[in-house]
Amino acid sequence: LSDAEGSIEGLERFDSPGKGRGLRVTRPFKLGELLFSSPAYSYVLSVKERGCLCEFCFTRKEGLARCGKCKKAFYCNVKCQKGDWAMHKLECSAMTAFGEKWCPSEMARLVARILAKKKVQKERCVSEKILLLGEMQSHVEDVDNEKREMNEADIAGLYQFYSKHLDMPDHKDLLTLFSQVACNGFTIEDDELSHMGTAVYPDVALINHSCLPSVIVTYNGTSAEVRAVQDMKPGDEVLISYIDLLYPTDDRNNRLRESYYFTCDCQECKSKSKVRSSQSDPIEPEVINNMVRYARKTIREFRASKNLLEMCEQNIDGAIRYGEKILKPYNRLYPPYSLNVSSMYLKLGRLYMGMERHSMGISAFKKALAIMEVAHGKDHSYLVELRKEMAQK
């Protein structure tokens, strides 16, 4: 790769021992510093978020304007609608024609957008400074029968819903592309870690996994931002966590093998005993996950209910108790500056505020803020909003 087309300041591609390609820093980075930001190569808003978020910029707000043709897509304004048209036109007429029968998976929708972009994007784009989309790992030869069947179903959906607008590559290339997206796709999440959509960022996909990550990936609209969660010196590898670190080592490695086809041998995995010795009162991950699911469900209902009185107070109390109970193991088991911890403080803070328990709400918000300033950067819109929430009495 020539410098003009293949570099990100302060970073370089290298061969990471035992991991293949990787990314490392060539200058020092401080805790919370932005290593780089990457626009998505392609992205798609989740169907369940339609009407709540702008399809183009992922802004969450009331009073979005809907597409006059399909009545299904929503935008901030005409500028966002025009910006999205090249991608939305893949679905607009099809959604109208198929009606209720229109049901491609999110993966198929993303792949359709990638194919549409590849057709018009002939040179390297801004999200491929150091890794081209086509260079992403596919592990297509490692895919098991169950995954292959899912890919085949997605390909069938692609033909059914998009064949009018797309020139399809041959079957083998489609299987490779679906495998690449499965291995390298990113879930775009909001400040409470709710799923907003899926995207592909080739440069970010170059980053290898560790259960003790050196950076964290967060989202600003549809762009990914990579920030240091520890001080880094030249030569340090840039590492993110691909999976939820709450699971015990063996579970984590099973998940990594199933989804990414490797086993982790980072320091955290080598010193398995750490968690066992630190847990005098071990809580099963499944118990914690059930608590989280319950808290998330209650908060979803809580946000959906326009009138707080519709929400049974007993339920909110239950969610608060769960949230308080979860935070102890969360703080102990997650690494510093974990979004799982900040999102739980946020949820808890919002529940407290809803129950008029302001001082407890502010206290939870402050703890979320301390993590988010490192993970998202001090000027992120989430922090601006959070400071507004804290100022409201």
| 245 within some domain | yes
Q: What percent of the chain has pLDDT over 70?
A: 86
First to last CA, the chain: 55
Looking at this protein, which amino acid is placed at residue 213? Answer: P
Residue 156: predicted pLDDT = 96
Domain range enclosing 28? 11-37+201-220+227-272
- Rounded Cα distance, 55 and 105, in Å: 16
Same-domain pairing of 364 and 336: yes
Same-domain pairing of 184 and 46: yes
User: What integer is the mean pLDDT of 240-254?
Assistant: 75
Looking at this protein, which amino acid is placed at residue 337? Answer: Y
Which residues are 239's β-sheet partners? 208
User: What integer is the mean pLDDT of 255-267?
Assistant: 72
Total count of domains within the chain? 3
Question: Which ranges constitute the DSSP H helices of 99-201?
Answer: 106-120, 145-162, 171-184
Residue 1: predicted pLDDT = 35
Output the DSSP codes for 245-263: TTS-HHHHHHHHHHHHS--
| 6 within some domain | no
The label of the residue with tokens 């699971």 reads: 247
Same-domain pairing of 17 and 65: no
Would you place residue 16 in the very low, low, confident or very high pLDDT band (cuts 50, 70, 90)? confident
For residue 306, the tally of other CB atoms under 10 A from its CB is 7
Are 335 and 245 a contacting pair, CB within 8 Å? yes
The phi, psi pair for 22, rounded to 5°, reads -155, -175
Would you place residue 38 in the very low, low, confident or very high pLDDT band (cuts 50, 70, 90)? very high
pLDDT of residue 192 exceeding 90, the answer is: no
| 53 within some domain | yes
109-155 pLDDT per residue, tens: 999 999 999 999 888 999 999 999 999 988 777 777 888 898 899 99
Same-domain pairing of 17 and 94: no
Q: What percent of the chain has pLDDT over 90?
A: 63
| 283 within some domain | yes
CATH code of the domain covering residue 312: 1.25.40.10
Short-list 126, 113, 106, 105, CA closest to 84: 113
pTM reported for the whole predicted model: 0.83
CATH code of the domain covering residue 15: 2.170.270.10
CA angle, 284 then 285 then 288, to 5°: 95
Same-domain pairing of 246 and 331: no
CATH code of the domain covering residue 175: 1.10.220.160
Q: Residue 24 is inside which H or E element, if any?
A: strand 20-25
- Strand segments (E) across the chain: 11-16, 20-25, 34-38, 42-45, 65-66, 74-75, 185-189, 195-200, 208-209, 215-220, 223-228, 239-240
Q: Is 176 helix (H, G, I), strand (E, B) or coil?
A: helix
Higher pLDDT, 5 or 119: 119
Same-domain pairing of 265 and 212: yes
Would you place residue 212 in the very low, low, confident or very high pLDDT band (cuts 50, 70, 90)? confident
Residue 69: predicted pLDDT = 96
274-286 pLDDT per residue, tens: 554 455 455 566 6
pLDDT of residue 166 exceeding 80, the answer is: yes
